[in-house]
Every structure is written in structure tokens, then in C-alpha cells.
Amino acid sequence: MAKKGKLFVISGSSGVGKGTLLKELLSVHADLKLSISCTTRLPRPGEKDGTNYFFVSKEEFENSVKKGEFLEWAEFNGNFYGTKENYVKKTLAEGKNLILEIETKGALQIKEKIPDAVLIFILPPSLEELEHRLRGRNTEDETAIRNRLNEAFREIECSKFYDYKVTNDDLKKALTELTEIIDKNI
């Protein structure tokens, strides 16, 4: 029987650099898969259904919740996000290592259900730099930026429940740290 895959959960405030780090990580780590979540958020320019997210209506999302299809789900900034249980269980059973890039409420649900999941929190060098990156990305309006920064305080507080914390100051250094954590746990 194939060895079960390892589940990694990566969280961090919006704009901290999770997407940037994961893109680099996945390009060097062929044995890692990134899970695709369902969301009720509208696609940003350039985002594709089935690649970045499965973009679903609120009704579809609520149906999946009722049917118990999500391993975890949460509301974030007025939208719903969730990970399908079937997909995670199947991927791990096939011996593949999987990464979930999700917010903290969902991550803590994962820790309860799959205690050997490895939780990694990405920290910004400072809240000022976080705001600078979020604004520099130019994907959110002012209200969404303010909401995401407010969420950042709450999320950083939750980082105490995580197995590892990585500060994304210098991108290369953060990537090295992240790779070491993954290698150690695979």
C-alpha cells in the first residue's frame, strides 16, 4: 500500500506573500500539490475557474455545506471559502502531499480533524509593510483593503496555534525556510 501523503496548511494575512511563496515552492517541489478551494468571491482579473478557485454561487456553496462535503469552510471578508473533503482524502490516500492555502478559522478545523497536518503561518515583517504590499498588489478596493487589514490582527493572534511561523521579509530567505519545513515533514 502507498504511504499516505502529508497535509500542509499555509495561512497568513492577505498580502503577506502566500501566493508568491507557493508559486516558487511548487516550481521546485514536484511532489507537492496545491488544493483548489471553492469560493463565493468573484474572480479577480486573470483568475480562472478550476485553476485559482472553483467559483460557485452562494446557493451552491450552502448546498455543499448542508451535504457535509467540506472538510473545512469559513466566511472571510463577506465571502465563503471551503475545501472539499473528498478531494483531500483521495489525494492523501494516493500518497500525494497536499497544501491548503486557507485562513485561520479553516486551518484550526483541519488541526482538529487531521491532527498530523502541519500548520505553517506566514508573518509580515511589519503591519506597515503588509499594508504596502496589499495596496501595491492593486487587486482590492479601499473597503476590502481595510477589512483585510483588520482581519490581519485577528489572524496574527491565531498564529500561536500553528506548528511553524515564517516571516516573509526577504523572499529568498522565507522560501528557504519554508522548503526546509516541508522537507523535514514529508
Q: Which residues bind ligand ADP (CB under 6 A)?
A: 12, 14-20, 133, 136-137, 168, 171
Q: Which of residues 10-39 bind ligand 5GP (CB under 6 A)?
A: 14, 37
Cβ-contact 181, 166 below 8 angstroms:
yes
Q: Does 41 bind ligand 5GP (CB under 6 A)?
A: yes
Q: What is the DSSP string of 60-88?
A: HHHHHHHTT-EEEEEEETTEEEEEEHHHH
Candidates 72, 111, 133, 164; binder of ligand 5GP (CB under 6 A) is 72
Size of the site for ligand 5GP (CB under 6 A): 15
Contact status: 159 vs ligand 5GP (CB under 6 A): no
Q: What residues contact 92, with CB distance under 8 A and at least 6 apart?
A: 4, 5, 6, 7, 98
CB of 168 to ligand ADP, least distance (A): 5
Q: How far apart are CA 167 and CA 173, in angstroms?
A: 9
Contact 30, 18 (CB under 8 A): no
Minimum distance, C-beta of residue 66 to ligand ADP, in the bound complex (Å): 30
Query: Are the C-beta atoms of residues 37 and 82 closer than 8 Å to each other?
Result: yes
**Minimum CB distance to ligand ADP smaller for 21 or for 182:** 21
Stretch that binds ligand 5GP, among 26-34, 71-79, 120-128, 165-173 (CB under 6 A): 71-79
Least distance to ligand 5GP, CB of residue 77, Å: 7
Indicate whether 168 belongs to the interface with ligand 5GP (CB under 6 A): no
- How is residue 181 written as a grid cell? 519545513
- 81 interacts with, out of ligand 5GP, ligand ADP, none, CB within 5 to 8 A per kind: ligand 5GP
Whether residue 174 contacts residue 24, with contact meaning beta carbons closer than 8 Å, is answered with no
